[in-house]
Structure 1
Amino acid sequence: MLENISFANPEFFWLLLLLPLAVLWYFYKRHEQSASLKLPTIEGFGKPGILPRLRPALFAMRLLALAAIITAMARPQTEDISTRTKTTKGIDIVMAIDVSSSMLARDLRPNRLSALKEVAANFIKERPNDRIGLVAYAGEAFTKTPITSDKSIVLRSLREITYGQLNDGTAIGMGLATSVNRLKESKASSKVIILLTDGVNNSGFIEPQTAADLAIEFGIKTYTIGLGTNGNALSPIAYNADGSFRYGMRQVEIDEDLLKDIAKVTGGKYFRATDNDKLEAIYEEINKLEKTEIEEFKYYKYEEKFRPWVLLAGALLLLEWLLRNTLFRSFI
């Protein structure tokens, strides 16, 4: 009966301390509870029956009824809690991903692009309350997915990003400008671009500084990530006869000064990822830096359970009254 039960007024249980006092009082006054008749001898009356020995059960019923009433006064109830969350300050995020041939370099496992896609997928899954879009860029840029709250679409688009969808090159300005264009009409309280590249700006007709100025104008924060080890990396250097890449060691060149400047002027931060672990740590840090404010509403539904205790007390008192006036009725 008390499973999953809470009490709205548990202070009434202090009244249970009266029950031991009542028991003591009963045993102290028990000889005065029934009439007595003094006789010179009880010969001829026979031995007393079992009913006198059971008479204290009437008092026990009254005590149990009192305990049930006290329990009812404490208001036992069950509690059903339902919650609803509301995003009070959502964030719109565009991930600008470099898909040039150098992203196939193998200084990250199995290569830069595959490592990025795995880490980016985890980042997307951890942002259930935000809208996310994808921009891919190489020698030019295009929107792979507009900002959307449907993470399944974003994750599927991320898996579909491969090298060869664009002319080779690294158009950082184009990638950033396209990302700004995706966010400029956003009504979100916070707008963020995560721009990743492993090279220097060598393509496109929009300068990175111009794209950064556009981000500033529309209040868009930009986090920049330079991807690649320090020194040389095993990278595509030419094509084989069958069209596949031939790999060789190539100097890693990342325009860190440019990436730092873009991040600084837009209010973001620059990161350098030299291996898989650092790349994962960078996205985890960005995830912590850009927190969406969630308001949680809790609804409590209480169901009162005092009625069974009142009925139990009433049944005990009724039974006690019936027994007192029938089986245990005294004619003296």
Structure 2
Amino acid sequence: MHFTLGSPWFLLLLLLLPCFFWCRETDRSFYVSKLDWAGKESSLLSWKQWFKILIFTLMVIALTKPFVYESEGNQYKKGRDLILAIDASGSMAQSGFDARNRFSSKYEVTLKLAKTFTQKRYDDNIGAVIFGTFAYTASPLTYDLEALEYLLDMTTVGIAGESTAIGDAIMQSIRTLSYGKAKNKVIILLTDGYHNAGKYSPKQAVAEAKKLGIRIYTIGIGKKSDYDAALLQTIAKKSGGKSYSANSAEALSAVFSEISKLEPSRIRGENYLNQRLLIFFPLIIVIGLLLLWIFRQERGRE
């Protein structure tokens, strides 16, 4: 366990402590018949003064937000840099992919299952690339799964054009992965079509991925006759990944379940783990001291 302060600058208030001795209260006049009866107690020896100092110090400590946190694992998370490259071309608007909801398009079902997949990957740094005629990064690598889902929900079929640029999708995924620090980098490519657009060929993109040690898992959506199964198998094989086919929502869910068993790696994570605030301890002591002060004042009046 480690100890630290959330707002250490509040400690500057302790510079006011000398005021308890040097700053005088408003002058008040007292009349006594003999000077010998007047007390000559020094403020340095007054228990009341030190009592006030203790209460003030404890309140300052509470303002600094002290807390403890675990040191184990606070520098790293186990996981990988992972990109979902999702086809949003015109053919993904076809319905009937999900037997329980035949009115949903292939794209809608794919997004839904992709979000379910990411929700269980707490240790991975995940991003998303959407592609059609061109490819773009819909979400950079992030641990914020809610933000990732929000950004995916903003995408629609045709947002990147009607064609299918598989080569560009892989290259854009590689660019997005370049900002991550994990040793294990993975692309999950989902498509229901043939490569027929874009600046880069799948061969160029796969060669670049292989050079950087990035594995590509390919998933063909729909009937095998609808997409280039041979190309997807080649992409996966040459990059060290695996190729899957999913002709239904149920099959796609099973594919995601298998991919979720990828081996984890270490990646930089949050600064503090299992943070526990200690602010209540000084506050409880302050409340106890104030109650004691009130009790002594009441007894002094009796």
Q: Give the structure-1-normalised TM-score.
A: 0.55
Q: Which residue of 1 aligns with 2:229?
A: 256
Q: Which residue of 2 aligns with 1:106?
A: 95
Q: Which residue of 1 aligns with 2:218?
A: 224
Q: Which residue of 1 aligns with 2:85?
A: 96
Q: Which residue of 1 aligns with 2:241?
A: 268
Deviation, 1:271, is: 0.3
Give me the whole-angstrom Cα distance separating, in 2, the residues matched to 1:292 and 1:278: 27
Mind listing any 5+ residue stretches in structure 1 that lack a counterpart?
Answer: 1-81, 231-251, 299-332
Deviation, 1:291, is: 3.6
Give me the whole-angstrom Cα distance separating, in 2, the residues matched to 1:216 and 1:192: 11
Is the CA contact (8 Å cut-off) linking 1:194 and 1:223 kept in structure 2?
yes
Q: Deviations over 1:153-188 (max 9, x none)?
A: 101011112013122100000111100111134320
Is the CA contact (8 Å cut-off) linking 2:129 and 2:172 kept in structure 1?
yes
Aligned pair partner of 2:110 in 88, 111, 116: 116
Residue type matched to 1:136 in 2?
Answer: I
Aligned pair partner of 1:283 in 222, 240, 256: 256
Could you say what the CA RMSD is over the residues aligned between the two structures, in angstroms? 2.5
1:288 aligned counterpart, secondary structure? coil
Is the radius of gyration larger for structure 1 or structure 2? 1
Q: Deviations over 1:238-260 (max 9, x none)?
A: xxxxxxxxxxxxxx421111111
Structure 1: 4+ residue segments shifted above 6 A: none
Q: Which residue of 2 aligns with 1:321?
A: none
Q: Which residue of 1 aligns with 2:137?
A: 143
Q: Deviations over 1:9-46 (max 9, x none)?
A: xxxxxxxxxxxxxxxxxxxxxxxxxxxxxxxxxxxxxx
Residue type matched to 1:268 in 2?
Answer: G
1:204 aligned counterpart, secondary structure? coil
Equivalences for 1:122-133 in 2 at 5 Å?
A: 122-133=116-127
Give me the whole-angstrom Cα distance separating, in 2, the residues matched to 1:285 and 1:293: 21
1:289 aligned counterpart, secondary structure? coil
Give me the whole-angstrom Cα distance separating, in 2, the residues matched to 1:108 and 1:83: 47
Residue type matched to 2:96 in 1?
Answer: D
1:199 aligned counterpart, secondary structure? coil
Size of the aligned set, in residue pairs, is 197
Is the CA contact (8 Å cut-off) linking 2:133 and 2:198 kept in structure 1?
yes
Give me the whole-angstrom Cα distance separating, in 1, the residues matched to 2:93 and 2:73: 41
Deviation, 1:280, is: 0.3
Aligned pair partner of 2:183 in 170, 185, 189: 189
- Taking a change above 3 Å as real, the CA distance of residues 182 and 259 of structure 1, as seen in their structure-2 partners, is same
Deviation, 1:127, is: 0.7
Give me the whole-angstrom Cα distance separating, in 2, the residues matched to 1:155 and 1:292: 23
Deviation, 1:85, is: 5.2
Q: Deviations over 1:62-93 (max 9, x none)?
A: xxxxxxxxxxxxxxxxxxxx996554543010
Is the CA contact (8 Å cut-off) linking 2:97 and 2:106 kept in structure 1?
yes
- Taking a change above 3 Å as real, the CA distance of residues 165 and 123 of structure 1, as seen in their structure-2 partners, is same
- Taking a change above 3 Å as real, the CA distance of residues 288 and 148 of structure 1, as seen in their structure-2 partners, is same
Give me the whole-angstrom Cα distance separating, in 1, the residues matched to 2:182 and 2:192: 30
Give me the whole-angstrom Cα distance separating, in 1, the residues matched to 2:72 and 2:96: 45
Give me the whole-angstrom Cα distance separating, in 1, the residues matched to 2:262 and 2:80: 12
Give me the whole-angstrom Cα distance separating, in 2, the residues matched to 1:105 and 1:178: 25
- Taking a change above 3 Å as real, the CA distance of residues 292 and 218 of structure 1, as seen in their structure-2 partners, is closer
Is the CA contact (8 Å cut-off) linking 2:193 and 2:228 kept in structure 1?
yes
Is the CA contact (8 Å cut-off) linking 1:89 and 1:189 kept in structure 2?
no
Q: Which residue of 2 aligns with 1:208?
A: 202
Question: Alignment identity in percent?
Answer: 37
Deviation, 1:288, is: 1.1
Equivalences for 1:162-181 in 2 at 5 Å?
A: 162-181=156-175
Q: Give the structure-2-normalised TM-score.
A: 0.60
Deviation, 1:210, is: 0.3
Mind listing any 5+ residue stretches in structure 2 that lack a counterpart?
Answer: 1-69, 99-103, 268-272, 275-302
Give me the whole-angstrom Cα distance separating, in 2, the residues matched to 1:132 and 1:120: 11
Is the CA contact (8 Å cut-off) linking 2:79 and 2:124 kept in structure 1?
yes
- Taking a change above 3 Å as real, the CA distance of residues 84 and 125 of structure 1, as seen in their structure-2 partners, is farther
